[in-house]
Amino acid sequence: MVKLYQLMFLCLISTAFISCTDSEKEVNSLKEEVIRIHDEVMPKMDEIMQLKKALKERESVLDSSQTEEMTAIHNHILHLDEADEEMMNWMRNYNASMENMTDEEKIEYLKNEKVAIQMVKQLMMSSITEAKTYLNQEKAE
């Protein structure tokens, strides 16, 4: 009977250890995914700045009668600014240390951060694509 209790205790401890390890693995995996997405789009910040500069240069040669084009340029700049600001907000608010969180809380936090950084990525990529398309159309005309 004592051996049975010892075996049950050993199984319980092993299960707790394994589940702890699985949680830690999931935390590490999610953290790597979040950082990978961030690292993938962070270099695009330079491209955003370059596109804003090109749009402002294009705007500087317009005359006051070209209001439709001015509005389009302003909208592209606003979209690029929004993408830039969203990345800055995400970086300011990201809690890399996740102190005082359980593994389950870390997993939930990282899942939410993954969604958030994916949304930032989408916003950045769409604003870049739209600005490039606009600038390329203007060059073609």
C-alpha distance from residue 33 to each of 39, 57, 60, 117, 118 (Å): 10, 37, 41, 10, 10
Quick: pLDDT tens for 87-105.
999 999 999 999 999 999 9
- What is the per-residue pLDDT across 44-95, written as a single tens digit (0 to 9) for each? 999 999 999 999 999 999 888 999 999 999 999 999 999 999 999 999 999 9
Output the CA–CA distances (angstroms, integers) from residue 26 to 61, 111, 128, in the order listed: 54, 10, 33
The full set of domain ranges for the chain reads: 27-140
The predicted structure's pLDDT at residue 23: 87
